[in-house]
Structures are given as C-alpha cells and as structure tokens.
C-alpha cells in the first residue's frame, strides 16, 4: 500500500496511548500467593484491538478504519532521576520500551497495510515522607516514521496528593475465575503463575466490547524480584519568560487538549513558560479555566492496577490554560489561581 503521512499525534490522544500501554504511574507490585515479598513489573506483552477512535488517534491512524490489531512487546524496569533542582526528595519511577506492530489496517480506499514502531516511556514521581505525591513527570517517544512524536509532561499537586492504595480490593471484585473491575471499562485479571498475570478487557469508547462479548485486549504482565533502579537525567526545568507577543494567530499545537478543558473567554497574558529560554515564540493564547465544568481525569484505573502499574487522577484547578507555539516545539501549561505552575506539556514533532 502507498505509505501515508500519519501526521502529528494529538496531545490528549498521546496521553491515552500512555494509558493504553500501562505507562503512567509508579512502579507496580504484584501480590504473590507464595511470599509476602512484593514483586515489580518486568514485561508486558499481548494484543489490542483498536476499537475506539481515541485508540486509533493515539497511534496517528486518523485516516484508517476502526479495528486494526496492535501487538505489543514491552520491557519495564525501575528508574531514579538525578539533577532535579527543585525536588525535596529523589524522584523514582519506571521506564517502558519495546516494539508495537499494527496490522489489519484498512484505509478509506480499501487498501490494507501495517505500521511498525517503537515506544519509549519514562515515568517519575516525587513523594513526601508520608507517601503523598508532590510532582509527576513522564516522557513519551513514539517512533514510527512520519507519525513519530516526542512529549514531556509534568504534573504538580498542591497540596500533595494522596497516593491511592495498591490493593485490589477497592478496584476489583473476586470471582471464581479471578478478578473483575468494579466500575469503568470491563477488565478481568487472572493469575497464570506466581510471577505472571493475564489481563483482558475493553478500551474506553469501544462499542463492540463488553463482559459478555469479545475483548479489546489480551495481555500478560510478568513480574520479578525488585531490582536496583537505573539512574537517568531529570527532565529539564521550565522557566518563565516575559513576552510582548502581539501575533493574532491562534496557537494550534495543543488544540486537542484545549477542546477537552472547559475554557472561558481568552485573557491577556505577558508571561510564557518554556523549557528553553532562547526559543523563538510564534503564537500564544491564554484562557480562563472553568474548573466546575472541566472533567477530572482518572484514566483506566483498573487497567493500570491489573498490569501492576497503579492509577492516578488529576484534578484540573481554577486558573488559566496557556498554549505557546515556538518554532522548535509547542507547549501548554496551567497556572492555578495563585499563579503556581501546576501542569506543563511540551511536544516535539
């Protein structure tokens, strides 16, 4: 088939991709029937039927029919960052990397094809001594030819956020076959061996999947004894920059996130935040956030826990959402009503 230029992956759909492959949060633990020593995830493999529009968009497949098959073969290992200048405690987390092959693709002309790509994700979390979450960072590298993208996201919780329980009891019901999710998309978990779990279920937004029908995904999560974290460089700090930007052009790089937030009218702003003080700003826009109408995000919590990668949620605060397009990259950030920087996103195509 003719090679298609898939284009840039929309920002929020890329975050959905992080959810789909089980890469968003801290090092997960498996509960062993044989020993009380906790285990951590070392590999995730299996298949996923991309039955929803969001899952298709996450891989840059906007021009193809729903339903192709993604095959995943991913490795997971613990990490610890060094060089964080604003951290009170050392951030720890995990890295996921491996190959994803998407087959059974059909475009609008009826032609079939496939996409092969590699995914690299890092996740870091800083916590207090009482295990409340201060900040979170994750990077996503999706390398698949014209669809390749690079993202860096930071979440800051003020006050620090309570860390959800790692246990199954609050998320899953025990059945004769294993465990099933209590709420949200159907997820079923079964113990295969002392060091592996089988996970199957439905993606959000899929219409052909339910407990009584076929599953969207079927995966195996493999666990191992805790390992020594690998040291990595901490993501770059962001800096505030005073700007006299007067362009009337509206930024477009993170429009997909703007469409999810409930925003009021545009407001004037003379400050931009960026990871590079010398970047060339081309357009910028700022909007007030209507937090009462903006959804709080807690994506696929049961899917995370099934993979041994606990879930989180993000409560969008009152404040402002700003998008700033630079010649080298696009950024978005949220300032709360006290002008604290609480969310940053940068996208490199």
Range of the domain at 283: 239-348
Distance CA 109, CA 221 (A): 37
Name the helix (H) or strand (E) containing 20: helix 11-20
At residue 290's C-alpha, the angle toward residues 150 and 264, to 5°, is 85
Number of domains in the chain: 2
In this predicted structure, the answer to whether residue 312 has a pLDDT above a threshold of 60 is no
Tens digits of residue pLDDT in 116-154:
889 888 889 999 999 898 998 888 888 887 767 788 888
pTM listed for this prediction: 0.79
Of 244 and 38, the structure prediction assigns the larger pLDDT to: 38
pLDDT band at 302 (very low <50, low <70, confident <90, very high): very low
Which residues lie closer than 8 Å to 102 by C-beta, 6 or more apart?
50, 59, 61, 68, 69, 70, 71, 114, 115, 116, 117
Is residue 5 in some structural domain? Answer: no
256 and 190, same domain (yes or no): no
In this predicted structure, the answer to whether residue 325 has a pLDDT above a threshold of 70 is yes
Is residue 2 in some structural domain? Answer: no
Strands 230-233 and 69-82, sheet pairing: parallel
Residue 175: C-alpha distances to residues 31, 92, 100, 180, 190 (Å): 17, 34, 32, 7, 10
202 and 90, same domain (yes or no): yes
3-state secondary structure 75-107: EEEEEEEECCCCCCCCCEEEEEEEEEEEEEEEE
Stretch among 173-177, 212-216, 223-227 having the lowest mean pLDDT: 173-177
Percentage of the chain exceeding pLDDT 90: 18
Stretch among 35-39, 80-84, 184-188 having the lowest mean pLDDT: 35-39
Is residue 278 in some structural domain? Answer: yes
170 and 290, same domain (yes or no): no
Contact 342, 334 (CB under 8 A): yes
Contact 173, 163 (CB under 8 A): no
């Amino acid at each position: 088939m003719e090679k298609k230029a898939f284009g840039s992956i929309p920002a929020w759909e890329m975050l959905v991709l992080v959810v789909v492959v089980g890469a968003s949060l801290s090092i997960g633990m498996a509960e062993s029937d044989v020993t009380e020593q906790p285990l951590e995830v070392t590999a995730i493999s299996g298949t996923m039927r991309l039955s929803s529009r969001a899952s298709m968009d996450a891989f840059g497949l906007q021009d193809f029919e729903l339903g192709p098959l993604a095959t995943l073969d991913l490795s997971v290992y613990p990490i610890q960052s060094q060089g964080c200048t604003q951290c009170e405690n050392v951030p720890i987390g995990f890295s996921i990397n491996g190959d994803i092959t998407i087959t059974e693709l059909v475009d609008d002309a009826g032609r079939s094809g496939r996409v092969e790509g590699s995914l690299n994700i890092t996740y870091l979390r800083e916590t207090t001594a009482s295990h409340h979450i201060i900040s979170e960072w994750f990077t996503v590298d999706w390398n698949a030819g014209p669809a390749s993208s690079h993202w860096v996201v930071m979440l800051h919780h003020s006050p620090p956020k309570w860390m959800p329980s790692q246990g199954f009891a609050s998320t899953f019901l025990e059945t004769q076959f294993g465990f099933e999710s209590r709420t949200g998309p159907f997820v079923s978990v079964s113990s295969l061996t002392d060091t592996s779990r089988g996970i199957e279920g439905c993606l959000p937004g899929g219409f052909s999947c339910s407990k009584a029908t076929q599953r969207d995904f079927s995966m195996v999560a493999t666990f191992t004894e805790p390992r020594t974290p690998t040291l990595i460089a901490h993501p770059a700090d962001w800096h505030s920059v005073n700007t006299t930007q007067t362009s009337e052009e509206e930024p477009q790089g993170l429009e997909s996130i703007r469409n999810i937030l409930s925003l009021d009218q545009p407001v004037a702003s003379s400050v931009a935040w960026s990871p590079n003080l010398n970047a060339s700003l081309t357009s910028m826009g700022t909007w007030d956030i209507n937090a009462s109408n903006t959804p709080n995000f807690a994506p696929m919590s049961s899917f995370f826990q099934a993979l041994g990668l606990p879930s989180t949620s993000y409560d969008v605060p009152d404040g402002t959402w700003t998008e700033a397009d630079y010649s080298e990259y696009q950024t978005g950030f949220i300032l709360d009503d006290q002008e604290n920087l609480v969310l940053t996103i940068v996208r490199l195509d």
